[in-house]
Amino acid sequence: MDVMVSVKDGEVWAHDSGAPSGAGSRSGAGSRSGTGDDALPLVLLHPGVADSRVWDRILPRLTERHRVIRYDARAYGRSPAPTAPFSLVEDLIAVLDHFGVARAVFVGSSMGGATAVSLALRDPARVASLALVVPTVTGAEEPLTPEFMAEVGALAVAGDVEGIVTMMRRASAALGTGDDPEVTEYLRAVVPAWLAVHPHQVPDPPVYDRLGELDVPCVVVLAEHDQPGVIRVNETMAERIPGCHLARLRHSDHFPTVREPDAVTEIILNAYAAAR
């Protein structure tokens, strides 16, 4: 089911797959089973380098077993651009409330991982398990160098979308060959979103130094061909989060769902099974 969800001073596009076909209703709230009407849903949070289509390759296997909710952050994909200050974690809470989700398993990629961690520290009762795919986290080091960001900024001022796409593909999609059409399309679509969001997004509070407070099953997925700064952050996150498992993908860059969709799917299903 596609729906526009009201958020503070705006709206976002969201999709709820519903319970898997043939699932029967079960008694009790928040069943760990993925097949009951009351079972924990999977909530997918996309990265800053793509909209929610980045999950398309893995959705079929996930929705066979679980209710899956995904949405486009403001200005991404099918969501309109913001017109007033907003917070990513506040928008996530609004989406959960719209669908009546008190508790879920969260899968966040990059930017989406940061939002999932922020929610887990702000309202831990809502988080049953975390799968953090090449995540960032508020308060951590910027993975891209100041020189790189300055060059991207100059291209943005010049309105050179293709120049930004080329730079970001070089930084985030090291394993791409030729035109790498799928990743290129994702990046080309999100550059206008970055420009639209920048004046309005209010950063969520830094939580990098609070990772030791997390008390939830967690896996951090590291891509061995990712940016060095992201790899450092991912390794440190796995060390700081109590009991966290670090999964390494040998054949992925910052787009693991494109490079190794089957491996990512298995990691997510295992994270769901670990929910408590």
Tens digit of pLDDT at every position of the chain (276 positions): 999 999 999 999 999 999 997 654 332 345 555 555 569 999 999 999 999 999 999 999 999 999 999 999 999 999 999 999 999 999 999 999 999 999 999 999 999 999 999 999 999 999 999 999 999 999 998 888 889 889 998 998 898 999 999 999 988 998 876 668 999 999 999 999 999 999 999 999 999 999 999 999 999 999 999 999 999 999 999 999 999 999 999 999 999 999 999 999 999 999 999 999
- Is residue 117 within 8 A of residue 214, CB to CB? The reply is yes
Task: Mark whether 166 and 90 lie in a shared domain.
Answer: no
Q: Number of helices (H) and strands (E), helices first, in the chain?
A: 9, 8
Q: Which residues pair with 131 in a beta bridge?
A: 107, 219
- Is residue 10 within 8 A of residue 74, CB to CB? The reply is yes
The rounded distance, in Å, linking the Cα atoms of 266 and 29 is: 25
- Is residue 45 within 8 A of residue 116, CB to CB? The reply is yes
The rounded distance, in Å, linking the Cα atoms of 63 and 18 is: 8
pLDDT of residue 25: 39
pLDDT of residue 155: 93
Task: Mark whether 128 and 168 lie in a shared domain.
Answer: no
Task: Mark whether 134 and 266 lie in a shared domain.
Answer: yes
Task: Mark whether 242 and 168 lie in a shared domain.
Answer: no
pLDDT of residue 94: 99
pLDDT of residue 27: 29
Range of the domain at 181: 146-197
Task: Mark whether 188 and 228 lie in a shared domain.
Answer: no
pLDDT of residue 37: 53
pLDDT of residue 28: 31
Task: Mark whether 25 and 127 lie in a shared domain.
Answer: yes
Task: Mark whether 218 and 170 lie in a shared domain.
Answer: no
pLDDT of residue 26: 36
Other residues' Cβ atoms within 10 Å of the Cβ of residue 22: 6
In degrees and rounded to multiples of 5, residue 6 shows phi and psi of -75, 130
Task: Mark whether 58 and 170 lie in a shared domain.
Answer: no
Tell me the HSE value of 168 on the side-chain side, using a 13 A CA sphere. Answer: 25
Mean pLDDT, the chain, integer: 93
Q: What is the domain-level CATH number for residue 49?
A: 3.40.50.1820
- b/e 192-230 (16+ beta carbons within 10 angstroms → b): ebbebbeebbeebeebbebbeebebbbbbbbbebbbebb
- Is residue 73 within 8 A of residue 103, CB to CB? The reply is no
Pick from 175, 197, 219: which residue ends a domain?
A: 197
Domains: count for the chain: 2
Pick from 197, 218, 236: which residue ends a domain?
A: 197
Q: If you ran DSSP here, which 8-state letter would residue 31 be given?
A: B
Task: Mark whether 158 and 66 lie in a shared domain.
Answer: no
Tens of pLDDT, residue by residue over 157-192, are 898 999 999 999 988 998 876 668 999 999 999 999
Task: Mark whether 134 and 267 lie in a shared domain.
Answer: yes
Task: Mark whether 98 and 133 lie in a shared domain.
Answer: yes
Predicted TM-score of the model (pTM): 0.94
In degrees and rounded to multiples of 5, residue 147 shows phi and psi of -65, -40
Task: Mark whether 90 and 136 lie in a shared domain.
Answer: yes
Pick from 180, 197, 214: which residue ends a domain?
A: 197
The rounded distance, in Å, linking the Cα atoms of 127 and 96 is: 11
